[in-house]
Structure 1
Amino acid sequence: MTETKLYIIRHGKTMFNTIGRTQGWSDTPLTNEGELVIQQLGAGLKAVPFKEAYSSDSGRAMQTARIILQEHTEGEKIPYRTDKRIREWCFGSLDGGYDGELWGVVPRILAFNNYEEMMSKTITYRELANAIIEADTADWAEPYEKIRERVWSGFEDMAHQREKDGGGNVMAVSHGLTISFLLSLIDETLPMQMELENGSVTTLIYKNGTFTIDKINDLHYIEDGKKELTHRNLL
């Protein structure tokens, strides 16, 4: 049986990413720069033989997946579907606000002076989720257990099904905090991966119900793609 490997990609840079607004379940499209980087990523990934591709149902994730598949050698043949379980966390009333609002109030709820102090300490994702619920005045933010169930089942289901079908590579476009959270479920000793780059690739190996982390925040596919596109434009 072929090894089962997930290529989990953070979506491209969006309008809200650029101006420092919290997206969560709100959405904005990729900027021109964001599209270019994802085109480079797609060129860098074009030789990876994907058996199938997924993204969350957020527009920015779907846009990212489609650009990558347009660049892929077999893009038109790769089955692609969306899965709402691999969405970003919902920040409730703080969705769409400036990052300073979310990361101003949440650290204070957790008894820290600011975001930098909070990140220098060890906090759990459960504590983070509870603080977001407390900060949310609309009562929309998800409880920790609900986030855990949907994120884990979303990625585990796609890996399990691929293993059952003979293994191979799966592409999945998701979101920064969701990917970081998934990594913590695999290895609870990891620090919070809050600085995952747009277009970065995190790879996981799946075998007999167990994930192993291969690489986190890998940017080399983008760099490879830059060379590929430069070479293509020179021809």
Structure 2
Amino acid sequence: MAKTRLYIARHGKTMFNTIGRAQGWSDTPLTDEGERGIRQLGLGLKDAGTTFKAAFSSDSGRTIQTMGIILKECGQESIPYQRDKRIREWCFGSLDGGYDGELFFGVLPRTKAFEGGKSINEVTYPELAESIVEVDTAGWAEPWEVLSQRIWDGFTAIAKKIDAEGGGNVIIVSHGMTINTFLWLIDNNREKISLDNGSVSVVDFADGKFTIEKIGDMSYRHRGQEILENEKA
């Protein structure tokens, strides 16, 4: 049986990413720069000879748009593609669409999890989730137990499906905090890092267990950028 390997990409840069707004369950399309970055990713994956058995994304417009570009540039538009709402971004509730600075450096630092002057990087994902629930006046934000379970279930279902079909590579497009949460659930001793748009994290699945191989790899995008620049020359 072939190895089951998940190539998990963060979607391309969007309008809200560009102007520093918390996107969450709200949605904006990729900018021209964002589309170009994902073209680079697709070309880099193709140049590396990476082929996929299937494709999965969240049901958000920005991940669907990203996947379309990747598969086109890879020349793999005919592979099975499914959307799964379980791998959506975190929901910021009533603060969805607000400015990042206001949310992460204004409102949330006044919650219990930040007592004692903790910084955003010192707060754990479970604490951060509960902080968002604490300040969400709409009641839409998910408690950590619900949030973490849906993310874990989403990625696990994909891995098990591919594994049951004999293994292989799968391309997944999801969101920065969702990907980071999944990686943290696999290994909660690792440091939090910011994942760039179009970065790829690679996770293997075998004997019911996940193993992290790469986090936030930008080499495919860099190779794709070289290819595009050579085409112009």
What TM-score do the two structures reach when normalised by structure 2? 0.94
AA aligned opposite 2:86? R
What amino acid sits opposite 1:93 in the alignment?
Answer: S
CA distance in 1 between partners of 2:164 and 2:229 (Å): 39
User: Closer, same or farther in 2 for the Cα pair 1:31/1:112, shift >3 Å?
Assistant: farther
Q: What is the aligned partner in structure 2 of residue 79 from structure 1?
A: 80
8 Å Cα contact 2:27-2:61 kept in structure 1 = yes
> Any conservation in 1 of the 2:58–2:85 contact (CA below 8 Å)?
yes
Provide the C-alpha distance between the structure 2 equivalents of 1:91 and 1:35, rounded to a whole number of angstroms: 25
Whether 2:103 is the aligned partner of 1:102: answer: yes
Partner in structure 1 of residue 137 of structure 2: 137
- Among 23, 32, 51, the alignment partner of 2:53 is 51
The residue type paired with residue 100 of structure 1 is G
Q: Secondary structure at the match of 2:34?
A: helix
Q: CA deviation at 1:190?
A: 1.2
In 2: Cα distance, 1:101 partner to 1:229 partner: 37
Structure 1 residue aligned with 2:181: 181
For 1:112 and 1:197, locate their aligned partners in 2 and report how far apart those are by CA, in whole Å.
Answer: 29
Q: How much does 1:72 deviate?
A: 1.0
Q: How many residues align?
A: 229
In structure 2, what is the equivalent of residue 88 of structure 1?
A: 89
- Are 2:65 and 1:63 equivalent residues in the alignment? yes
Residues 155, 120 of structure 1: CA spacing in aligned structure 2 closer, same or farther, 3 A cutoff?
closer
How big is each residue's C-alpha offset from its partner over 1:108-143, in whole Å with a ceiling of 9 and x where there is no partner? 2123587xx51353x322111110001111111011
Q: Which amino acid aligns with 1:89?
A: W
The answer as to whether partners of 1:22 and 1:99 remain within 8 angstroms in 2 is yes
- Cα deviations by residue, 1:159-184 (Å, 9 ceiling, x for unpaired): 11111111110000000000110011
> In the alignment, which residue of structure 2 is the partner of 1:213?
212
Match of 2:7 in 1: 7
Once the two structures are superposed, residues 43-85 of structure 1 have per-residue CA deviations (whole angstroms, 9 ceiling, x without a partner) of 0112311000011000000000000011013x12211111000
Shift of 1:204: 0.2
Contact 1:10 1:176 survives alignment (8 Å): yes
Q: Is the 8 A contact 2:121 2:192 kept in 1?
A: no
2:195 is matched with: 196
Equivalents in 2 of 1:201, 1:226: separation in Å?
A: 15
Measure, in 2, the Cα distance between the counterparts of 1:197 and 1:59. Answer: 18
SS in 2 for 1:205: strand
Query: What is the rounded CA distance, in whole Å, between the counterparts of 2:161 and 2:23 in structure 1?
Result: 30
- Identity, % of aligned positions: 56
User: Per the alignment, in what secondary structure is the counterpart of residue 53 of structure 2?
Assistant: strand
AA at the equivalent of 1:227 = E
Question: TM-score, normalization: structure 1?
Answer: 0.93
Q: How far off is 1:231 after superposition?
A: 3.4
Distance 1:173 1:223 in 2: 18
Q: 1:188 to 1:218 in 2, by over 3 A?
A: same
Asked whether the equivalents of residues 12 and 199 of structure 1 are also in contact (C-alpha less than 8 Å), the reply is: yes
